[in-house]
Amino acid sequence: MVTKRAGGGQPPLLGEVLFEFQRHGNILRVVAIDPKSGTEVIMVADPRQSKTVIQRLAARKLAYVLAKNQAKTQR
């Protein structure tokens, strides 16, 4: 999955992404993990949304965090 972010920077390419879903009442806790770097992001989603949409949003957040971390290391 390739996502573009505002600002024109090149996002990192996401290969495999691991997802974990936990339902807590009327919210869904989603963890997206990049197995190569061990980076993980956590988000809360509406469980009424489709799994595909939730995974896309979590992967997008993961790509943002990876790009942010990559920019920090390049400074």
Q: Is residue 29 part of a domain?
A: yes
Q: What is the pTM of this model?
A: 0.79
Pick the more confident residue, 1 or 70. Answer: 70
Q: Is residue 12 part of a domain?
A: no
12: confidence class by pLDDT, cuts 50, 70, 90: low
Chain segment 13-63, per-residue pLDDT in tens: 688 999 999 999 999 999 999 999 999 999 999 999 999 999 999 999 999
Q: Is residue 13 part of a domain?
A: no
DSSP 7-72: TSPPPPPP---EEEEEEETTEEEEEEEETTTTEEEEEEE-TTS-HHHHHHHHHHHHHHHHHHHHHH
SS3 at position 74: helix
Q: Is residue 50 part of a domain?
A: yes
Q: Is residue 2 part of a domain?
A: no
- Domain with 29, as residue range(s), is 18-74
- Distant-in-sequence, close-in-space partners of 22: CB < 8 Å, separation ≥ 6: 28, 29, 31
Which pLDDT value is given to residue 3?
40
The number of domains in the chain is 1
